[in-house]
Amino acid sequence: MSISLDKSTLEAALLGYQQHLQQIEAKMAELRRMLKQTPAAAPFAKRAPKAAPAKQKHRMSAEGRARIAAAQRARWAKSKKAQKSQE
């Protein structure tokens, strides 16, 4: 089963995708209105890319570090106990 991709087929596919994109953008604009945001001035594909927000460092609490340390000590103790029983 072979599909020929001639120029007219590709143009028809492009038109279909453009219509689908317009429908999606219309739905996005409706959602923005519902969220009381301003609608986009230009279609998504034509907007200038925004700068990525700065990543925030993940900070672990002292309690979290203590739990991890205790779990690691328990793993080591279990490992050493298993080693001694093999000797």
Look at residue 55 and tell me if it is in a domain. Answer: no
Domain holding 30, by residue range, is 9-45+62-86
pLDDT (0 to 100) of residue 72: 96
- Report in angstroms the alpha-carbon separations of 44 from 9, 23, 24, 41, 76: 25, 12, 10, 9, 54
**Count of structural domains, the chain:** 1
**Average pLDDT per consecutive 10 residues, the chain (87 residues; last block may be shorter):** 74 90 91 72 58 81 95 94 85
pLDDT (0 to 100) of residue 63: 95
pLDDT (0 to 100) of residue 70: 97
pLDDT (0 to 100) of residue 1: 44
Look at residue 71 and tell me if it is in a domain. Answer: yes
pLDDT (0 to 100) of residue 36: 74
Look at residue 51 and tell me if it is in a domain. Answer: no
Task: Tell me the whole-structure pTM to 2 decimals.
Answer: 0.36
